[in-house]
Amino acid sequence: MKINIPRPTLYLIILSLLLFIFVLVFSFTVLIPKGKEYRKERITVKKAEKELRRYQDFHNETTTELQDLQKKNRNIIIAFDKVFNQERFEKQYKKYFSSLQLSKLATPVKNDEFLSYEVNTTSQMSSPKSFYDFIEALNKADWIIGVNFPIAFKRDGELIKSSFTMKVYCADQNTTKEK
Amino acid sequence: MKYSYIKPRPKSVFTLEVKLLSTFFSISFLMLFMTYAFLLFKDYSFEKSLKSIEKRDTQLHTSLAKMKEQIVYIEKERALAQSIQTENTVLKDSITNLFDLVPPRITLSTAMLGKKSLILKGITPNKDVYNFMLQAPLRSIFHETYSSFYPAGNGWMYFVSTNYIDEGNHEN
């Protein structure tokens, strides 16, 4: 039996077949792998976004923690950052003594991440209570100051002469800048 | 001579079938290429997102590390400040206690306080007053207590009391 297909129809069928094959090949070799890749990437991006959100939350928590800490310890931070001013100290704390002299600051010593200066102090006072008041006031000072041993008290007529060493602590500017 | 009664129509390549077919395939191709373009765009957009996430992640990491360092540093500052304040308070209390320890009948002329030592110089009406009223409480505080006396001239005695905490470690 002979099938008689007209030539234009045959061309049409061949063209249709070619186009159909192209569609199939394009779909299976390009589109479907790309689609799979897209799904994978979408999951990856979603995961990364989720991780980033968690990290951002943690970052926000840490920021709040730091801000709270800075707020609560504002005075301490300022005190550590303040450079010791001998004249100002004498002016502020002279009221506790009949006389107060500070020796020149020695070269600062680096201690861990802080610098400390030794200040030799000699003073005269009418009663030990002045010294107690001075130490109490020192705890509220503009600087971080510790009174160190040895402390010597000597009777000097009606007054008590005292000599002791104070250690002034401040933040190491190099370390602070790095932070 | 005419062979047909109708007028000849111009023949075109674009027959109805070809038009139908080309429409169908055009739509199919358009859909395919649009999908492909969408996937390409998404690919690019994901890549961009990932890069931006990575950048933000690095920024957060740096910022977090800096903040953690700051927190540690502030905590160190706080700890140091608190320890200095405590030491100052303890020192004040020690000196208060020391001066409270001295009875009114004994007068001190010198008091030298070291970390682990105490040297007192003064005047006492007699040895017994010193021994009972000052040395006894000093002995309860210090591990080693040495006292020496010499006459003051008016019947009173000068005394020097040297006291140490921790045997064998006589540092200031």
From the list A31, A51, A136, which residue is nearest B35 (CB)? A31
Q: What is the pLDDT of residues B87-105, one digit of tens each?
A: 999 989 988 888 888 888 8
Q: What is the pLDDT of residues A42-60, one digit of tens each?
A: 999 999 999 999 999 999 9
Whether B123 and B107 have beta carbons less than 8 Å apart is answered as yes
Q: What is the pLDDT of residues A117-170, one digit of tens each?
A: 888 888 888 888 888 899 999 888 889 999 988 899 998 888 889 998 888 888
User: Which residues, listed in sequence order, are joined to residue A144 by a DSSP beta bridge?
Assistant: A169
Q: Choose the weakest-confidence range: A36-45, A48-57, B145-154.
A: B145-154
Q: Is the ipTM of this complex over 0.90?
A: no
Helix (H) or strand (E) holding A152: strand A144-156
**Interface check A113 vs B, CB under 8 A:** yes
**Interface check A27 vs B, CB under 8 A:** yes
d(CA B138, CA B131) in angstroms, rounded, equals: 10
Half-sphere exposure of A45 (CA within 13 A, CB side): 17
Whether A26 and B28 have beta carbons less than 8 Å apart is answered as no
Name the token pair of A156: 């000097």
User: Which residues, listed in sequence order, are joined to residue A168 by a DSSP beta bridge?
Assistant: A117, A145
A138 chain-B contacts, CB cut-off 8 A: 88
Strand A159-171 relative to strand B107-113, pairing:
unpaired
Give the length of chain B.
Answer: 172
- Asked whether the beta carbons of residue B39 and residue A15 sit closer than 8 angstroms, the reply is no
Name the token pair of B169: 């470690």
- Asked whether the beta carbons of residue B108 and residue A37 sit closer than 8 angstroms, the reply is no
- Asked whether the beta carbons of residue B110 and residue A132 sit closer than 8 angstroms, the reply is no
Instruction: Find how far residue B100's CA is from the centre of its chain.
Output: 40
**Interface check A41 vs B, CB under 8 A:** yes
Give the mutation candidate from A9, A26, A36, A41 for the B interface (greatest B CB count, under 10 A). Answer: A41
Task: Tell me the pTM.
Answer: 0.78
